[in-house]
Amino acid sequence: MFRHAAAVLVLVFLGASACVPTSSYQGFQAIDQNPAEVKVGADTRASVLAKLGTPTASSTFDKDTWFYMTQVSSKTAFYHPHVTRRSIVAIAFDKGADQVTAVDTFTLKDGRVIAYNGRETPTRGRQTTFLEQLFGNIGSVSALPQNQDVSPGSHPNDRQ
C-alpha cells in the first residue's frame, strides 16, 4: 500500500513540474553595466564599447546608432513561448565627434504587432477566373509568322 502511494505521489510531482514555466534569455546580458546608464555628452563611442562591449545591432541606414537588445521568453509545457520582457536601448552618436547624443530605452509596451499575410504575397493586377484561363487562348493568334520554321532555342529573327 505504501509503495503505491509513493508511486502516485512521485507521478503527481512529476506532472506538476512539467507545468512550471521555463524562461529563456536572448540578446545582451547586462552584467557590470546597464546600457541605459550611458551619459549623453560624457561618453564616447570608445567608452561605450569599453563599458558594454559590441552592440547587438547597428542601424541599417545610420551607422551612428547602436542597439543593445535583450528579451526574456517564457514557455509552459507544450504551449508556444511568449515574450515576458523586452528592453532595447538605442545609443546615438554625433557623426564628427563620436560623442553620445541620445540614449533611448524601449520596452515591450513600445512595440507594435504587425499583421502580415504569411500564406501568399499579394500582387497588383487582375485576378483571372478559371473559365477565363480555360477559354483565354481560343482564337488567339500566334506571334510568329506561319511561313518561318523556328526550331527550339533559336530566335525568330535568326536567318539560316
As a whole number, the mean pLDDT across the chain is 78
Asked if residue 114 lies in contact with residue 106, where contact means CB atoms within 8 angstroms, the answer is no
pTM passes above 0.85: no
91 class by beta-carbon count within 10 Å (0-12 exposed, 13-18 middle, 19+ buried): buried
User: Rounded CA gap, 67 and 104, in Å?
Assistant: 10
Give percent above pLDDT 70 in the chain. 72
Average pLDDT, stretch 70-95? 88
The whole-number pLDDT of residue 93 equals 92
pLDDT confidence band for 80 (50 / 70 / 90): confident
Sign of CA dihedral 57, 32, 92, 105: positive
